[in-house]
Amino acid sequence: MKKLLDWTKEPAFINRKQEFSFLEAWISEKPDNLLFIFGPKSSGKTTLLTHFIEQKLPDSRYDIKHFNLREIFIANYHHFIQAFFSIDYSKSKDDVKERRQYDLKVFKLTVETLKGLEEKTLDPFAVMKQELKKTEAKGIRSLIIIDELQALEGIYLNGQRELFKELFNFFVAMTKESHLCHVIIASSDGYFIERIYNDSKLKKTSKFLEVDYLSKTDTSFWLDDLAESSKIKKFTLTEFQKEKIWYLLGGSCWEISSFLGDLLLVADEGRIEEGDFADLIEKKKITMRSMFVDYAGLFKDKRRLFFEIHRVAENGRFEEIDVESLITAGVYDENGLRQELIELVRHNFLAYNPVTATYSLQGKSMEHGLRMFVEKMKNRKV
């Protein structure tokens, strides 16, 4: 038996009982709708799905195809075929099997069928439906998971049929009409989800699950026992340090994990010296503020928008109408303001909730970064 690698830190997975309960109930029903999972970047959407699959879905009963489009370059139809389909090497000659990797996350086809797809003599959606039917006939449930589906926007099948729209039509047909598979689509792009949510056809055939940052209780549970949650044995945190991390980073899974990695570099005899901790906190705060400095640059309209967001976001979420004064003042027109907010979402300054049509700063780190930016600009009387 191979010896497992001994890591100094591993990704933590905390609680998510409520999300697990929702997913268990949803997947226990006969396929009848698409499930969109949304939430701010680094809130743990992909990690949630990975753990749900590992813990709740036995391999013998489910055929799971998970496409993470962050990891796949798709710029045209040929790339799409390469990402979603593969040769069934179990039916290929031995010399082919030795040279090729057997990928379980795609639709596995014969050489002839794959050739037909590449030459566009076969419809990829007809092929996928046929494969799903074969899986169902074996008494196995199919689950398709796609991370960041918006990466397929702008790709066309034959110069006219947009791949993005065709996939949605296919998913609706496979869930609501044919009941052949469950489909989960996860995205951190709130505007992408909004377009889906406001589409009358998809709105009536979809469910939505928000995955937010960890609560203070869950974050405290994580930081109280780093050896159990993150396999960190090199140090423990003081109560002051744990409170400071929560105050600065909130429940942002990736940011906390990254900061714990920074602490590993300065750990000594099972603890973190307060001076070293303070230095790392200060570096983090400078990075937070500099993100706003870099984005605003010399553009007065962007600085005005940051000032206004700081004012209206003090109580958490806000709506577009809350920054309408920028239109009245002539800083932006309606289209310009909407586009700027979209860019802030895409650059992970803001998170957008498509169900409530509200914005919020992307976690506590952004809240602190914006506050420090505004304070410094005020001191300069900008």
Q: Are 194 and 354 spatial neighbours (Cβ–Cβ below 8 Å)?
A: yes
Asked whether residue 150 is domain-assigned, the answer is yes
Question: Do 323 and 367 have their domain in common?
Answer: yes
CATH number, position 371: 1.10.10.10
pLDDT of residue 57: 87
Site of tokens 């090497």: 89
Read off φ and ψ for residue 9, nearest 5 degrees.
Answer: -155, 140
pLDDT of residue 158: 64
Question: Do 198 and 57 have their domain in common?
Answer: yes
pLDDT of residue 278: 97
Question: Do 28 and 100 have their domain in common?
Answer: yes
Find the length of the chain: 382
Stated pTM of the model? 0.85
Question: Do 123 and 230 have their domain in common?
Answer: no
Asked whether residue 2 is domain-assigned, the answer is no
Domain assignment of residue 231, given as a range:
216-272
What burial class does residue 48 get, using C-beta atoms within 10 Å of its C-beta: 0-12 exposed, 13-18 middle, 19+ buried? Answer: buried
Question: Do 118 and 222 have their domain in common?
Answer: no
pLDDT of residue 314: 77
Asked whether residue 1 is domain-assigned, the answer is no
pLDDT of residue 294: 96
pLDDT of residue 200: 60
pLDDT of residue 97: 40
Segments of the chain scoring below 50 in pLDDT = 1, 94-104
Rounded CA-CA distance 235/266 in Å is: 10
Asked whether residue 307 is domain-assigned, the answer is yes
Tokens of 120: 């566009």
pLDDT of residue 382: 55
Question: Do 233 and 107 have their domain in common?
Answer: no
Q: How many domains does the chain have?
A: 3
Question: Do 146 and 193 have their domain in common?
Answer: yes
CATH number, position 150: 3.40.50.300
Question: Do 40 and 58 have their domain in common?
Answer: yes
**pLDDT tens readout for residues 301-356:** 999 999 999 999 977 899 999 999 999 999 999 999 999 999 999 888 999 988 88
Asked whether residue 368 is domain-assigned, the answer is yes
Rounded CA-CA distance 42/67 in Å is: 18
Question: Do 182 and 306 have their domain in common?
Answer: no
